[in-house]
Structure 1
Amino acid sequence: MTAVASKGASGGATDGGGVGSLAFVTMTVGDLRLALPMSSVQAVIRPPELVRIPLGPPGLEGLAHWHGDAVPVLDLATALGREGGAPATRETRVVLVEHRGQPVGLRVDAMAGILRSDPDRIDPVTAEDGGLDPAMLDGLLRDGPATILKPDVLIDRQFGDPGESDRTAGAGGSVGSLGQVAGPGNDLSAGAKAAGVIDRLALLVFEVAGQEFALPVERVREVLPAPREVARMARSRAHLLGVMSVRDRLLPLVGLRALFGLDGAGEQGAGEQAAGGQALGRRVVVVRPGQGQAPVGVLVDEVREILRLDAAQIDPVPPFLAREAEFEDLDGIARADGGRRLVSVLSAGRLFRHGAAIGAGTGVDGGSDGMEPARPADAGGMAGRAERFVVFSLAGAEYGLPVAAVREVLRRPDSITPLPNAPDFVSGVLTLRGEVLPLIDQRRLLHLPAAGGGAAPGLARGRVVVVGHDGADAARVGLLVDGLSGLVTIPAERIGPAPAVSAAQRRLIRRVATLETAGAARLILLMDAESLLDMDRLAGLLVTHR
């Protein structure tokens, strides 16, 4: 990374410049040589990894994670009306400028350097220079030669008027027609009780060795990518994999394959202990503790869905099996899909006991709601104010909805009934327990590329996220997404306003979470549930975006 410190453009010059000279950062874009005032440049960096943000202008390449901020990155060539999208080279850089209080990245072909020039060596723009709109230009440097850009004008033309949006959400809780604010302790079961759905239990379903297991959503703190390395504890049993680091705290890790003797557990258990290549591509379900109990991580193969079942659909473990030691970790057997699927419901309390067996020799105990005993420097840590989100994947990016807004997450149906005269982002309807549910194709809604593989729109493998609320004015929709990432608890300080790139985006995606997970940057785009429930307003909003 090459950092460029910001200085006042009219400040005194050094390195050969006159007392009144101005400083500029110069760069190349195609056949253009351009300059930006040094005062507007925060840094110059190598191209970072990008997360695509939908409903943006053509020149927007995506969001980058930079020093805890979610930074939109524009392809400068496209923004200037030139042919953009050129492959990155060793010389490609991203110039970070400040725009209306937030950093914005401009992708350029190469850096030319830093140039100082006296004001009398800067000529005015009298006509289009190099085919560029003069309104975006601030002069011509004779000593470059280079064309000076007005970054604010250029960025405003890409993102539109920042004042034409509903800013009620800001950086705080997202309040929608659900009448609830996603916040501490606001989980699916709590949301269901507030809506009068007391007898239905929300279960997070995951797969291990081809078998389905579940935990109550209210006992799941979050779902994380599996670590590349696990610190194995000496002389522990095969299913006690060791500990992993989560945000500088220690999390005991239990392997269900070895615990339940699934799929060659001895051989697989050794792979899980090593955690090198075996654990890649899997998930860790972090089980919420009871009062005074430490969290426990459960290594699983895949997170499948969130189901809401009546209490009558969850049977106790048959007495004949309950006497066996290998079934003591089960709380019951759930009958889903009309009894065609049987899902083993795990006991969070007994999984805690397995985690405590690891903690006995590691300094991890149940003294706090963190990943290890709280230290004075980080007292409060993960026990501070946080929000919980259901996170799903779509076109290579991650999106989140407040957990109180999500009714359940289902497998995508094999067939969808078309709905005549519906907006093009509505794939059709399905019947869910006697209720007709409109299905929104999130790729069409957010103007993302269609799913590959040749599948018909809306029928590719994926999930349906059911969003809505109950009551007299009940409204629900199903969102077609690529997959379910799981539940994530996000500290409030890691959530901020999403960069404003268009009116439609500002309405649908108001906030963004910037996280560090397993040593890698992670951006989660947080959607507004209320906007997804108002179909007429949604259609009108997207018409204005076209």
Structure 2
Amino acid sequence: MLRFTSGRRSFFLPASQVREVVGQQRLTRIPRAPESLLGLINVRGAAVPVLSLANLLGKKSCAEARIILLDGDTQIGLAVDRVATVTQRDAAQADGAKPIDLAPLIAKDFAGLAPRSGRRSAPVRRQRTATRDASRLQLLAFAIGDQELALPLDAIDAVIAAPKTIARVPGGEAAVLGTADWRGRLLPLLSLSVLLGLPGDADAKGRVLVLSIDGARIGLRVDRLTDVLALDPASVDLLPAALTRGAGEARIQAVARLDGGHRLVSILASGELLAPEHRRGLARDAQAEVATTRMAVDAGEPVLLFTLGGAPFGLPLAAIDEVARVPARLTPVPQAAGVLVGLMELRGRALPVIDQAQRFGGEATTGARAIVARAGALEAAFLVDRIIGVVRVPADRLASAPPLGGEGLFDRTMIDGEGGPITLLINAFALLAGTERALLAMLAARADDGDATP
């Protein structure tokens, strides 16, 4: 028997029900989950829910320093104050410990946990959370100096912060910044401002766009990200070939007209970022790397990462129409709930703007970006604190999330290796359906008060 304490009470479990005991781990909190769910921990690459025994017993948790990982198909961690010893049943009872039946305690808050979260958080197949309009151009927009540019979203493998450690290449060309470590391999870094012949912003912290060119990955440094765009092809004009020849190496193939022509975004030709001789060099490097490591370009699921209340979350890119700037002034909705901050006009559509951080029980969002998400006929804009970037997530890093509250909002987790952080992925349909229910409830309440006008 394993004897342990919670508050002033002592309990015991059969040792056969215990997989192992660990100390406190880094927890990934789940917004709006029951109080007894402390969060998720990464146990050898699996997302394991941790429940507070004190909360399950109706007490206040305060000094839980150990986590008992329960054995069985369902992986659950039980947070307790102290694990005393392994002993015989008679000895445990003689010391005042009581047997505890965890199943009804857990079922009270998490009735669907056992049948849905077992099998060690098994990886799941890629899910299509929404159908993206194939006729629209999906672009990632960024800035170099005061010039806004874009690349096709499907040409970008990842967006990362500018590395702090770069190995310089003596005698290298002006566009070559050096190499940096990325996912255990050397990533060549190039300055897109030099490739384009544009002045960059020396004070910008910078971001790096990771692309695959002829089978080899390169990193292109830009000053900052601006938007994720979904454009009607009618708003994009191809440039005549005579106008695409400039002082730089990379080429601009088209210009997108936004905001009634007041905002112009130059679209780069992803196949002509480098001169032919440099592309041939990359092709040779890629062939050598494939021959030695059998590395293939990862076609993982693209996910947009962002922060809410300081915590990172992810949303599949297939569910996102675009990332838009939030207007300085939104159209107010009389008597609206706090999470509905107003309406914004976007390409002829009036979209509700939702403060998701407040829906999660946090402070109001102060960011100036909104993710425009769509699932079927449902569409809304959600304020976020900060856009981290786009990553392509291999299938072996995705796992089903246990059904632990959150209104089914989080259906998967992204796990960064053994012991690494866990990022919750949001189910776009659940997000939008919950938003619609909240808006309908608000309108019904207003109708009851005799004011049903928008």
- Contact 2:254 2:268 survives alignment (8 Å): yes
**Distance apart, 1:155 and its partner CA:** 3.1
- Kindly, what percent of the aligned residue pairs are identical? 34
Counterpart among 60, 73, 91 of residue 101 in structure 1: 73
Counterpart among 199, 218, 229 of residue 165 in structure 2: 229
CA distance in 2, matches of 1:107, 1:264: 49
Amino acid at match of 1:142: A
Any idea what the Cα deviations from partners look like across 1:212-258, whole Å, max 9, x if unmatched?
43212121122234444334344323432333343334432223456
CA distance in 2, matches of 1:76, 1:374: 53
- What residue number does 1:174 align with? 127
More divergent stretch after superposition (347-356 vs 481-490):
347-356
Counterpart among 405, 414, 427 of residue 341 in structure 2: 427
- What residue number does 2:219 align with? 297
Any idea what the Cα deviations from partners look like across 1:277-312, whole Å, max 9, x if unmatched?
x97xx54321243xx432222234443321233445
CA distance in 2, matches of 1:233, 1:520: 34
CA distance in 1, matches of 2:265, 2:58: 55
- Contact 1:60 1:72 survives alignment (8 Å): yes
Counterpart among 121, 133, 139 of residue 192 in structure 1: 133
Q: How does 1:375-524 map to 2 (within 5 A)?
A: 375=292, 379=294, 382-383=297-298, 386-420=300-334, 425-445=339-359, 447-451=360-364, 460-468=366-374, 474-502=377-405, 504-505=406-407, 507-516=408-417, 521-524=420-423
Quickly say closer, same or farther: Cα 1:142–1:340, change in 2 above 3 A.
Answer: farther
Higher RCO, 1 vs 2 (CA within 8 Å, ≥6 residues apart): 2
- What residue number does 1:68 align with? 45
| Unpaired runs of at least 5, structure 1 | 1-22, 123-140, 181-190, 269-277, 452-457
Counterpart among 214, 239, 260 of residue 150 in structure 2: 214
CA distance in 2, matches of 1:38, 1:166: 22
Any idea what the Cα deviations from partners look like across 1:183-222, whole Å, max 9, x if unmatched?
xxxxxxxx332xxxx3x42221224556543212121122
CA distance in 2, matches of 1:108, 1:325: 66
- What residue number does 1:157 align with? 108
1:531 and 2:430 matched: yes
**Distance apart, 1:494 and its partner CA:** 1.4
Instruction: Give the RMSD, CA atoms, in angstroms.
Output: 4.0
CA distance in 2, matches of 1:78, 1:227: 43
**Distance apart, 1:433 and its partner CA:** 1.5
Q: Secondary structure at the match of 1:303?
A: strand
**Distance apart, 1:110 and its partner CA:** 4.1
More divergent stretch after superposition (237-246 vs 523-532):
237-246
Q: TM-score, normalised by structure 1?
A: 0.68
**Distance apart, 1:462 and its partner CA:** 3.4
CA distance in 2, matches of 1:107, 1:495: 25
CA distance in 2, matches of 1:364, 1:158: 57
**Distance apart, 1:499 and its partner CA:** 1.7
Quickly say closer, same or farther: Cα 1:324–1:173, change in 2 above 3 A.
Answer: closer
- What residue number does 2:209 align with? 285
Any idea what the Cα deviations from partners look like across 1:120-159, whole Å, max 9, x if unmatched?
445xxxxxxxxxxxxxxxxxx324x434433434333343
Q: Secondary structure at the match of 2:138?
A: strand
| Unpaired runs of at least 5, structure 2 | 443-454
**Distance apart, 1:407 and its partner CA:** 0.9
Quickly say closer, same or farther: Cα 1:432–1:255, change in 2 above 3 A.
Answer: same
Any idea what the Cα deviations from partners look like across 1:341-388, whole Å, max 9, x if unmatched?
34343332333559957966xx972339xxx42546xx46554x6322
Q: Secondary structure at the match of 1:500?
A: coil
- Contact 2:116 2:402 survives alignment (8 Å): no
- What residue number does 1:275 align with? none
More divergent stretch after superposition (475-484 vs 77-86):
77-86
Quickly say closer, same or farther: Cα 1:431–1:537, change in 2 above 3 A.
Answer: closer
Q: How does 1:2-401 map to 2 (within 5 A)?
A: 23-26=1-4, 28-85=5-62, 92-98=65-71, 101-112=73-84, 114-117=85-88, 119-121=89-91, 141-143=93-95, 145-162=96-113, 171-176=124-129, 178=130, 180=131, 191-193=132-134, 198=135, 200-208=136-144, 212-256=148-192, 260=197, 262=199, 283-289=207-213, 292-311=214-233, 313-314=235-236, 322-326=244-248, 328-353=250-275, 356=278, 365-367=285-287, 372-373=289-290, 375=292, 379=294, 382-383=297-298, 386-401=300-315
Any idea what the Cα deviations from partners look like across 1:25-77, whole Å, max 9, x if unmatched?
53x44434444433233333332222221221113232222211122233443
Quickly say closer, same or farther: Cα 1:73–1:520, change in 2 above 3 A.
Answer: closer
**Distance apart, 1:467 and its partner CA:** 1.5
Amino acid at match of 1:508: L
- What residue number does 1:8 align with? none
**Distance apart, 1:408 and its partner CA:** 0.8
Amino acid at match of 1:367: Q
Aligned residues: 438
Q: Secondary structure at the match of 1:366?
A: helix
Quickly say closer, same or farther: Cα 1:484–1:234, change in 2 above 3 A.
Answer: same
CA distance in 2, matches of 1:354, 1:306: 29
Amino acid at match of 2:110: F
Amino acid at match of 1:442: Q
**Distance apart, 1:430 and its partner CA:** 1.8
Quickly say closer, same or farther: Cα 1:264–1:409, change in 2 above 3 A.
Answer: closer
- What residue number does 1:273 align with? none
CA distance in 1, matches of 2:54, 2:147: 51
Q: Secondary structure at the match of 1:404?
A: helix
